Structure 1
Amino acid sequence: MTILSRLVAMKEAINERGETYGLIAIAFAIVISLEYLTPPEYVFGYLYTGTILLADSRLNRKAVLGITLAATGLTLLNLFVPGGEIIYPPTLANRLIAVLALMVTGWLSDRNHRNEEAIAYTQAQLRSQEQLAIMREDFVSTLTHDLKTPLLGAIETLKYFQNEQFGEITPMQAKVLQTMARSHRSTLQLVQTLLDVYRNDAEGLKLQISPVNLATVAEEIIATLAELARTRQVYISLHYGESDFRSFLWVNGDSLQLGRVFTNLLSNGINHTPRGGKVEVVLEGYSSDQVVKILDTGSGFTEEELPHLFERFYQGHSDRHVSGSGLGLYLTRQIIAAHGGTIWAENRSPRGAMFGFRLPACPPPGS
């Protein structure tokens, strides 16, 4: 705001306040004339409520208090000025009732003024928080987008080296390049997860719904993570409930997003299982819903951690030896909730953890 615009705003405020005081003075003059030119038994003090309400809408709290006190004082003063008349009890009672009404009007006006100030302050805070949230979302979106480009470039460059397009490499160099590529892919996945979390919070998760067989999704993700499991020396097994025969678990969902759920939960289980341990995927089909359980042989959780596992950025304080961003389980919960399902976690006895989710079942395609 320029100096000129500020001066104009100040002039308008002064003019408006001057007009208000002028109206109040005129109202006071009219009521005083009616009060003091008629016998005391005629009470016109109630008309001061108009000036109090006018002051409340245009002036500050001190002005409202002053006008209320002036109105009550003038109403009582009319008992003695101009004087010379006998004051009867009903007249005194009428005056006191008028004074009480003016005081209540002033108190209610002051309370209303404070409530309006509190509402205005709260609204200003909400607007400020909304602006900060928008700035944060824009910052995260821009940052993650800008980070993806160099990461993708670095991954492609590493592929060229691994394919020996820049010359032969030794076994030791190949191992180092493989480690670097895996690290870059993990970082890229973290950046994408961060971007998805903030986008889902801001816009909601958009799903491409179609019939999905959870058994097929589980098999595909297990095959994708086989190398990670082999590297960490963790064995992955897939079971189909008590019968252990391959079955179909149909749900209406987004196959890509449900694949991310399996990826997050399986990766979590692999990373938190000691070498030589195992991760089990158990698929259980029921008439009304389909249940998936991921069981690991890690260290489990403390009772204090369990209620917070699916919160954003929560990493916990247990001795599960791999720390993450705290976003994978939060994103998983977002996806399951968007599908109308539920997700939970439990400790296993004597050791390990179980993550499970439940989705509404649907009939097989074509049935």
Structure 2
Amino acid sequence: MKTSCFSVRKIVLTVSAGAVITALSLMIGMYALTGNSIVFYGGLLLTTALLLWGAVLVHLLQKKLLEFTSDLCRTLDGMMNGHEKPEINLDEESLLTRISHRLERLYHTMLENRRKLEVEKSALQTLVADISHQTKTPIANLKMITDTLLGRSVPEEKQKEFLTAAGSQLDKLDFMIQALVKTSRLETGLIVLEKKSSPIYETIVTAVNGVLSALEKKELGLLMTCPEDLCIVHDPRWTAEALFNLLDNAVKYTSVKGNLHIVVQEWEMYVKLDIIDTGKGIPESEQAAIFKRFYRGDTVHEVDGIGIGLYLVREIITMQGGYIKVRSEVGKGSTFSVFLPR
């Protein structure tokens, strides 16, 4: 028999009617067997008293239930508004207390989810503002070049200069979009790093191959000190991506005919990989901020870049259980140290 379709009032009336009918049937049966009217009237009086006490009990239960449901609705409203914490009566062990315990757990879960939502919302707003800021200059430059080429007659030699400049701005936008896509896929877990035991030497060579052209163009010397048989557990593809970004920065900020040095050392818990350059260096006041997304120091605006490479490096290394440090002195160069667990 399903009781979900019955109200409390219907249940009480049904039980009361059944009790009265049962009591009357018993009294009539006893009177028929004994013929004593005292038994009948005594049973009737007892039934009446029991019904009265039953009515009192039902009234008290209804009152208690009404108080509980009112408190529950008020507490739930407060929880949804984020202003009220469920109160638990620790001196009372009952069904209501058990419900209160679960409400408190639900309340803390809601608070944590709300906090995470605020953090994600703030991060999204910051990201949108950063993207808007970073794309504003290249788009303005492209618009200016296009308006110039369409609006007036430009010599062929000048046209090539304008188109070269436009290509540079498009390359910058393309690099930024690609870097943002990689970062977003890493942060959201769409890309899972596939760590395996492989030679770190091969990973470094892959990264170096990406900057060979720039190295030759600036006539930079490169020295690498790394055991060829040293294997560690890492994701070769994404680690090479991180090292490429570090090497690319080192090449950008090192003067012509400077030097780069890659040194790999085995420590007890980590493998330390240093990328040392003889570039312009990083002021101490900026060293704590260079790994932030889109951060660019005041002294490097003349060098092409968008400030997302080091942020991506930190994400890749951190996701593999490692970390990165920087030591630098203005005018003498920088050393970026990557620590990967053995």
1:301, 1:318 within 8 Å by CA — same for their partners in 2? no
- Letter of the aligned partner of 1:327 in structure 2? I
Give how far 1:251 is off.
Answer: 2.0
CA deviation digits over 1:106-132, x for unaligned, max 9?
A: xxx9xx9xx899869847845865996
Q: 1:353 aligns with which of 322, 330, 334?
A: 334
CA distance in 1, matches of 2:162, 2:229: 41
Is the counterpart of residue 276 in structure 1 residue 256 in structure 2? yes
CA deviation digits over 1:41-67, x for unaligned, max 9?
A: xxxxxx977654343124689xxxxxx
CA deviation digits over 1:110-167, x for unaligned, max 9?
A: xx9xx89986984784586599699x69x99xx9xxxxxxxxxxxxxxxxxxxxxxxx
Give the 5 Å matches for 1:232-271. Answer: 233=218, 235-240=220-225, 247-271=228-252
In structure 2, the gaps of 5 or more residues are 1-54, 77-91, 132-155
Give secondary structure in 1 for the equivalent of 2:335: strand
Give how far 1:267 is off.
Answer: 1.0
The equivalent of 1:215 in structure 2 is: 201
Q: 1:302 aligns with which of 272, 276, 283?
A: 283
In structure 1, the gaps of 5 or more residues are 1-28, 35-46, 62-104, 144-169, 362-367
2:282, 2:330 within 8 Å by CA — same for their partners in 1? no
Q: Would the alpha carbon gap of residues 279 and 251 (structure 1) be closer, same or farther in structure 2, given more than 3 Å must change?
A: farther
Q: Would the alpha carbon gap of residues 129 and 298 (structure 1) be closer, same or farther in structure 2, given more than 3 Å must change?
A: same
Q: Would the alpha carbon gap of residues 54 and 171 (structure 1) be closer, same or farther in structure 2, given more than 3 Å must change?
A: closer
Q: Percent identical across equivalent pairs?
A: 19
Give how far 1:332 is off.
Answer: 0.9
Give how far 1:198 is off.
Answer: 1.0
The equivalent of 2:319 in structure 1 is: 338
Give secondary structure in 1 for the equivalent of 2:285: coil
Give the 5 Å matches for 1:75-90. Answer: none
2:281, 2:331 within 8 Å by CA — same for their partners in 1? no
The equivalent of 1:290 in structure 2 is: 271
CA distance in 2, matches of 1:291, 1:204: 28
Q: Would the alpha carbon gap of residues 53 and 224 (structure 1) be closer, same or farther in structure 2, given more than 3 Å must change?
A: closer
Is the counterpart of residue 202 in structure 1 residue 188 in structure 2? yes
The equivalent of 1:80 in structure 2 is: none
- Letter of the aligned partner of 2:278 in structure 1? T
The equivalent of 1:190 in structure 2 is: 176
Give secondary structure in 2 for the equivalent of 1:193: helix
Q: Would the alpha carbon gap of residues 219 and 127 (structure 1) be closer, same or farther in structure 2, given more than 3 Å must change?
A: closer
Question: TM-score if structure 1 supplies the norm length?
Answer: 0.50
Q: Would the alpha carbon gap of residues 121 and 349 (structure 1) be closer, same or farther in structure 2, given more than 3 Å must change?
A: closer
CA deviation digits over 1:197-242, x for unaligned, max 9?
A: 11111116412334433333333433331222344x251412317x
1:279, 1:294 within 8 Å by CA — same for their partners in 2? no
Q: Would the alpha carbon gap of residues 267 and 131 (structure 1) be closer, same or farther in structure 2, given more than 3 Å must change?
A: closer
CA distance in 2, matches of 1:117, 1:291: 45
Give how far 1:350 is off.
Answer: 6.0
Give how far 1:196 is off.
Answer: 1.2
CA deviation digits over 1:51-93, x for unaligned, max 9?
A: 54343124689xxxxxxxxxxxxxxxxxxxxxxxxxxxxxxxx
How many residues are matched?
Answer: 245
